[in-house]
Amino acid sequence: MEHRKISSLERTKRRWAYAFLVIPILYYTIIRFYPTFYAFFLSFTDWNIVSKEKNLIGFSNYIKMWQDSLFWKTLQNTGKYVVFGLPASLFLGFVLAYNIEKAKIGSELFKSIYFVPYITSMVAVAWVWRWLYQPAPIGFFNRILITMGLPQQKFLFSQSQAIFSIITTTIWADIGFQMVIFLAGLKGIPQDYYEAASLDGAGKIALLRHITLPLLKPTTVFLVVTGTIRYLRIFTQVLNMTYQGEGGPLNSTKPLVLYIYNSAFRDFDMGYASAMTVILFLFILAITLFQLKVMKSEY
d(CA 126, CA 235): 11
Residue 90 lies in a domain: yes
82 touches 232 (CB < 8 A): yes
Residue 243's pLDDT is: 86
> What integer pLDDT is reported at residue 297 of this predicted model?
62
Task: List CB contacts of 233: < 8 A, sequence separation 6 or more.
Answer: 257, 280, 284
Assess if residue 34 is contained within a domain: no
What is the CA 91 to chain-centroid distance, rounded?
A: 15
pLDDT attached to residue 3: 52
Read off the CATH number of the domain in which 91 is found: 1.10.3720.10
Q: Is residue 275 part of a domain?
A: yes
Q: Per 3-state DSSP, what percentage of the chain is helix, strand, and coil (rounded to 5)?
A: 75, 0, 25
CA-CA distance, 172 to 175, in Å (whole number)? Answer: 6
Task: Specify if 138 maps to a domain.
Answer: yes
**Is 30 inside any structural domain?**
no
The C-alpha R_g of the chain, in whole angstroms, comes to 25
> Is residue 55 a part of any domain in this protein?
no
Domain that holds residue 204: 68-296
CB atoms within 10 A of CB 65: 19
Q: How does pLDDT run along the chain (299 residues), one tens digit per residue?
A: 555 555 676 777 777 777 777 877 888 778 777 888 888 888 999 888 777 788 888 899 999 999 999 999 999 999 999 999 999 999 999 999 988 888 777 788 888 888 999 999 999 999 999 999 999 888 899 999 999 988 999 999 999 999 999 999 999 999 999 999 999 888 888 888 777 877 777 777 887 787 788 888 888 888 988 899 899 999 999 999 998 888 889 999 999 999 999 998 888 889 999 999 999 989 888 887 887 777 666 55
Distance CA 187, CA 190 (A): 8
In a domain, 57, yes or no: no
Q: Which amino acid is present at 176?
A: G
- Integer angstrom CA distances of residue 49 from 41, 63, 270, 280: 14, 21, 6, 21
Cβ-based neighbours of 75, under 8 Å, separated by 6 or more = 256
Number of structural domains in the chain: 1
Specify if 112 maps to a domain: yes
